Structure 1
Amino acid sequence: MPPPLPPHDIRVLVIDDHPLFRRGVLQLLASTPHFKTVGEADTGDEGIALALALKPDLILLDLNMKKGLDGIATLQHLQGTELDAKIVILTVSDDPQDLVTAIRAGAEGYLLKDTDPEQMIGHLNEIMFGRTVISDTLTHCLAAALRDDSMKTLRQPSALTEREDNIVRCLAQGLSNKLIARELGIMESTVKVHIRNLLKKLNFHSRLEAAVWAVTQGQR
């Protein structure tokens, strides 16, 4: 079931140093009723300044920008502010290391620039609904990277409480915090606390890492 439409326009900031691609993204967003572009920038530094001034709901961020800060450095800087925006990496790079680095730095999504426009909008809707999304073709890359990482890092599923284990299973199904709360009959704020605790126990940086790991462990 697709996520419901938001009650208000999603305010978007686009940070990308390719003018032609940026223009295409702006046109795509302009043709989608519930998205509203509030700004665009061609460098990380300019993007950060605009983000702090405009306080968008969603930031689409290029990974490899040639001038100034690259995408990861820009993402890390934005994560250090009080902004409440969802940040999505939009890139041509299908390098697993770039993917893992971005997710661990706090990206809410990692989408390839050749994604079908309709699918792109669908992914952005899911992200705004509270899910972390990566391009379908990259899921196996993240899974492989986590398997390699698990060989270096001791992870004990037995360390999880029954509630945390249930939440990991929900993450593996791609459920948002709101849907997990509804599924388990608890408050959404409680879900957030449990996710924070289980990520710490399993030595993960993001819910997506935990979700993919859970799938590889058969915890669905």
Structure 2
Amino acid sequence: MIKVGLVDDDILIRESLKIILNNDSDISVVFCGENGQEAVDYCKNNEVHVFLLDMRMPVMNGVEALKIIKNISSSKVLVLTTFDEDEFIKDALKYGASGYLLKNNTPDKIIGAIKTVMNGSSVIQEEVLEKIVDDIRENKEKPHFMEEIFTDREMDIVRLISEGYSNKEISSKLYISEGTVKNYITTILSKMDLKHRTQIAVAYLKGL
């Protein structure tokens, strides 16, 4: 059973998501909160597998909560965002969010994203990824990525991650096992001193 925490200052969104998610036999909503501080406090003494975390909240916003949650627990964080929260999205990427979804998604997509994140993959909705890429291209010409430290196969993995492909999709495209993909990602993370596969995409898109 996937234990989910819902954190959003909009009570209608919280209650709607709670009803929707609890209807799935694999998910149990164990916590609902209206700000980041409540999420952090709950996380200190209780197990949550995946947090659905809003970004713009009173008391403590989503980015501040994300930083603490990732530091004190093994919980994964799936960000619920809108298109007018660019600065939060970029900070969330930096601090290790496992996924980014627009709030207007269908219940099936949100449930699917939770299960994907729980299985160790990341989820970046195409519209969100495109906006991040557009902002980077608009504000900064992409310099040369540090390809010299990677093998050709590792660079293949980096490029596919940056395009939003899951581990399973990468394994299919490159004709290697999903386990081999995970091993490559572990090596890439180590070489770049990163903690999460999503940060690989950000680093590549920024040309770091």
| Same fold (TM > 0.5) | yes
Change (3 A) 1:154 1:168: closer
Give the match's secondary structure for 1:56: coil
5+ unaligned residues in a row in structure 1: which ranges?
1-8
Alignment of 1:173-188 (within 5 A): 174-176=165-167, 183=177, 186=180, 188=182
* Alignment match of 1:197 (pick from 190, 197, 205): 190
Alignment of 1:201-220 (within 5 A): 206-211=196-201
User: Is 1:49 aligned to residue 44 of structure 2?
Assistant: no
The one-letter code sitting in structure 2 at the alignment partner of 1:132 is S
Q: Partners in 1 of 2:198 and 2:140 — Cα distance?
A: 15
Q: Partners in 2 of 1:210 and 1:75 — Cα distance?
A: 18
- When normalised by structure 1's length, the TM-score is 0.76
Q: Partners in 2 of 1:145 and 1:56 — Cα distance?
A: 33
Q: Which residue of 2 aligns with 1:6?
A: none
Offset of residue 184 of structure 1? 7.1
The one-letter code sitting in structure 1 at the alignment partner of 2:44 is L
Identity between Structure 1 and Structure 2 (%): 24
Q: Which residue of 1 aligns with 2:99?
A: 109
- When normalised by structure 2's length, the TM-score is 0.80
Give the match's secondary structure for 1:17: coil
1:172-194 CA distances to partner (integer Å, 9 max, x unpaired)? Answer: 462339x75x6276495x44531
Change (3 A) 1:216 1:101: closer
Q: Partners in 2 of 1:60 and 1:167 — Cα distance?
A: 27
Q: Partners in 2 of 1:89 and 1:122 — Cα distance?
A: 14
Q: Partners in 2 of 1:210 and 1:55 — Cα distance?
A: 27
Give the match's secondary structure for 2:135: helix
Change (3 A) 1:34 1:140: same
What's the C-alpha RMSD, in Å, of the aligned pairs?
3.2
Paired residues, what number? 203
5+ unaligned residues in a row in structure 2: which ranges?
none
State which drifts further: 14-23 or 145-154: 145-154
Q: Partners in 2 of 1:108 and 1:30 — Cα distance?
A: 21
Q: Which residue of 1 aligns with 2:66?
A: 75
Give the match's secondary structure for 2:177: helix
